[in-house]
Structure formats: C-alpha cells, structure tokens
Amino acid sequence: MMKERQVEGIKRAQAEGKYKGRVPTAMKQADKVKALVDAGVSRVQVQEQLGISKASYYRCLKAS
C-alpha cells in the first residue's frame, strides 16, 4: 500500500516537472574514460583517477 502511494507521488511529480531523478555522474565522464584507455592507462588507475566503479568503467566503454 505504501509503495503504491510513493509511485503515484513520483509519477505526479514527474508530470509536474519537479522530479527528474538522479544525475548519471559516471556517464558524464565517458569521454575521459575512453581517452585514458586510449592513452594506455590501466583500468584500476582510470577508476581511481575518476572515482568510478568497475561497472561504471565498463558501462562507459560500452557507450562510447
């Protein structure tokens, strides 16, 4: 019952333009990931430099 109300509230807020969700921060850095990989930087070093997870790293590579 509670989840149904939450979903209804989110849908109403989206319709009003008030709820847009979370900003995809790792995907904004996809070009940086690609550039570092092309430069020969290892996966672990790319993750540490950009502060992203292993899953985000591979997601960025797949998208670019």
Domain-located, residue 59: yes
Say if 7 falls within a structural domain. no
Q: Is residue 64 a contact partner of residue 31, using CB atoms and an 8 Å limit?
A: yes
Per-residue pLDDT tens for 12-52?
988 999 888 888 788 899 999 999 999 999 999 999 999 99
41 in any annotated domain: yes
Which residues does 60 contact at the CB level (< 8 Å), separation at least 6? 26, 27, 29, 30, 33, 34, 52
Domain count, the chain: 1
- pLDDT for 26: 87
11 pLDDT exceeds 70? yes
Q: Does 36 reside within a domain?
A: yes
Please report the pLDDT score of residue 1 as a whole number. 58
| Enclosing domain of residue 37 | 23-64
Structural domain contains residue 60: yes
Put residue 47 in one of left, alpha, beta given phi > 0 → left and psi -120 to 50 → alpha: alpha
